[in-house]
Amino acid sequence: MPGLLLKILLGFLMFLNVGSGFGQATKNRAQKGNKASSPSMPQLVSQNGKHTFYVDGKPYLILGAQMWNSSGWPAILDKTWPQLRELNCNTLEVPVYWEQIEPQRGKFDFANLDKLILDARREGLRLVLLWFGSYKNGQSQYVPAWVKENPQEYPRMVDGTGRSIGVLSSLSEKNRNADAQAFTAMMRHIRQVDERYKTVIMVQPENEPGSLGTDRDYSTQATQLFKEQVPAKLVSALKKQPGSWEQVFGPEAAEAFSAYHMAVYINYIAEAGKKEYPLPMYVNAWIKENRFGRAGEHPSGGPTSNMLDIYKAAAPGIDLLAVDIYHRNYMQFRELCEKYGRPDNALFIPETGRGIAFARFHFYAIGDYNAIGVAPYGIDPFHADPNDKRDKEKLDNKFSGIAANYRLLRPAIPLITSLQGTGKLQAAAEEDGLGDELLHFSNYDLLLTYGFPTYKEPKEMTGRVLVGEIGPDEFILIGFDTKFQFRPKLGSGFSTAEFISVEEGTFKDGVWQKIRNWNGDEVYHSTLTPEGVMLKIKLKGLQSDKFDNKPNFER
């Protein structure tokens, strides 16, 4: 009997033990879960002209992809995740539609959004949500039916011929409040379901806003306002002399008037949303630098390059003004990066084209203009654009360069973001008629030569490289199909740059992981491989070239 009692007692103690152990484990898990799942808010920090986008408290680079316009639906997303995995992107930009979220006035449906967030979280992807609300490409197609069917209550703009057009008036408080109400409901909901996880890292209220079809609203109300003085606050922020819109802005008066009212409208919506959940927010531009160069032929009143100052003054709740760039000419691409990457504006390119040219251009954006992110548009094949080939092979080709970029760049994000804005990061890429290029660093110049691999016909322009100067004699090279030769600076007293070491490797949690040393043939050729490679190079300036192992074209 005492034996039985002892057994019961022991069993009870074991139960307690197991019980407390289990309790402890649960507690640990909960604590860990809490810690891991309550990271700090995503934030854009700008200091002395350097912009850093923080996610989970760490500098982040959006290596993104954007869905086609009608693809933000579960049926399409479910088929797209595998493609996204192949792309190696870290962020998905997806539309969220006012018409879908508030199909009846005041009745919200977040089922699609919930599934999107859960699925993205499962995939380890972050989300940038594109609010297709009052404005989408200078039109108002995405407003719910109860808005579309009721233009008396939700007024539209009027063009110069007196015709009402499919663009909501940005002067109407009714329009603005209706949009803001839906947007804030969505932001509140995101906070509820995602605050612990931060799957959603940024929001774009509206999409390429402005008015397509007219340079300004010609309604009676708008024309009356247009004749009045430019608001004093705007005039003073722009350091201009007071006057009417025409006096202050001359030939750009109609566009400036539209931009101001559009900026105020969107800012109201963004700030209302931020009160619910303060995620960073940006507005993207349909650029004016194209053949639709006249206001109204591109959406008038969007954050085009000539309207950036107005947006900065009138929309303080907007963290940055982004630029959609589809230009295939690298000079135009770079010019736009220069215009939007300003001390007061972080460069973000939420839409680019696909294909190898854009894979090269992403290097410029990140390396030369300190972009906080890039993304090709139209990642999924589920669209109705008759001009865009949709078969898998074509799609794979279009994304292959970008997938390779992302695979190579992702582990280097801590390095890239630490060098951005310091002058120690530069990009270079092969372009039509550009056979080589010389980059300048503190102690060395770097000659880059393109045209590789030589066996590939037809030759695609795949050469692209990011160069980070990580010490006086140390560099990181990240790229493809580019031959590199370091030369000591003229006047340095050295004739040659000798390789002390050339390590191939990658980064893990910001720490360099060597895979192998490059020497012999690899150093003789000194050419970044077609698959892409990351090299850490240590140099020494020499007066004679006795032990020189630098590549030499004469050999």
Instruction: List interacting residues with ligand DGJ (CB under 6 A).
Output: 69, 137, 207-208, 324, 351, 377
In terms of CB distance, is 132 or 499 closer to ligand DGJ?
A: 132
Amino acid at site 383? H
Q: How far is the CB of 289 from ligand DGJ (least distance, A)?
A: 14
Q: How far is the CB of 168 from ligand DGJ (least distance, A)?
A: 17
Q: How far apart are the first and last CA of the chain?
A: 95
In terms of CB distance, is 54 or 377 closer to ligand DGJ?
A: 377
Cα distance between residue 234 and residue 524, in whole Å: 60
* Reduced 3-state DSSP string for 149-163: CCCCCCCEEECCCCC
Q: How far is the CB of 126 from ligand DGJ (least distance, A)?
A: 19
Phi and psi (nearest 5°) for 287?
Answer: -70, 160
Phi and psi (nearest 5°) for 482?
Answer: -135, 130
In terms of CB distance, is 390 or 489 closer to ligand DGJ?
A: 390
Cα distance between residue 50 and residue 68, in whole Å: 32
In terms of CB distance, is 249 or 333 closer to ligand DGJ?
A: 333
The residues, ordered by sequence, that sit 6+ positions from 372 with a Cβ below 8 Å of its Cβ are 44, 51, 52, 53, 60, 61, 62, 320, 346, 347, 348
Q: How far is the CB of 292 from ligand DGJ (least distance, A)?
A: 12
Secondary element (H or E) of residue 274: helix 253-276
Nearest CA-CA partner of 132 in 32, 17, 209: 209
Secondary element (H or E) of residue 113: helix 111-123
In terms of CB distance, is 146 or 382 closer to ligand DGJ?
A: 382
Q: How far is the CB of 141 from ligand DGJ (least distance, A)?
A: 11
In terms of CB distance, is 179 or 208 closer to ligand DGJ?
A: 208
Q: Is the bond preceding residue 453 a cis peptide, omega within 30 degrees?
A: yes
Q: How far is the CB of 52 from ligand DGJ (least distance, A)?
A: 25
3-class DSSP state for residue 97?
strand
Q: How far is the CB of 73 from ligand DGJ (least distance, A)?
A: 15
Which whole-number Å values give the CA distances from 416 to 269, 332, 419, 460, in the listed order?
Answer: 33, 24, 5, 26
In terms of CB distance, is 95 or 273 closer to ligand DGJ?
A: 95
In terms of CB distance, is 385 or 531 closer to ligand DGJ?
A: 385
Q: How far is the CB of 266 from ligand DGJ (least distance, A)?
A: 15
Phi and psi (nearest 5°) for 458?
Answer: -70, 145
Q: How far is the CB of 362 from ligand DGJ (least distance, A)?
A: 17
User: Closest CB to ligand DGJ belongs to which residue?
Assistant: 208
Quote the distance between the C-alpha of residue 142 and its chain's center: 23
Q: How far is the CB of 375 from ligand DGJ (least distance, A)?
A: 11
The residues, ordered by sequence, that sit 6+ positions from 110 with a Cβ below 8 Å of its Cβ are 101, 186, 189, 193
* Reduced 3-state DSSP string for 227-240: HCECCHHHHHHCCC
In terms of CB distance, is 127 or 253 closer to ligand DGJ?
A: 127
Which whole-number Å values give the CA distances from 45 to 58, 98, 363, in the listed order?
Answer: 11, 30, 22
Q: Note whether 197 and 120 are within 8 A (CB).
A: no
Secondary element (H or E) of residue 271: helix 253-276
In terms of CB distance, is 69 or 462 closer to ligand DGJ?
A: 69
In terms of CB distance, is 159 or 206 closer to ligand DGJ?
A: 206
Instruction: For residue 303, give both structure tokens.
Output: 């954050």
Cα distance between residue 196 and residue 169, in whole Å: 37
Q: How far is the CB of 95 from ligand DGJ (least distance, A)?
A: 7
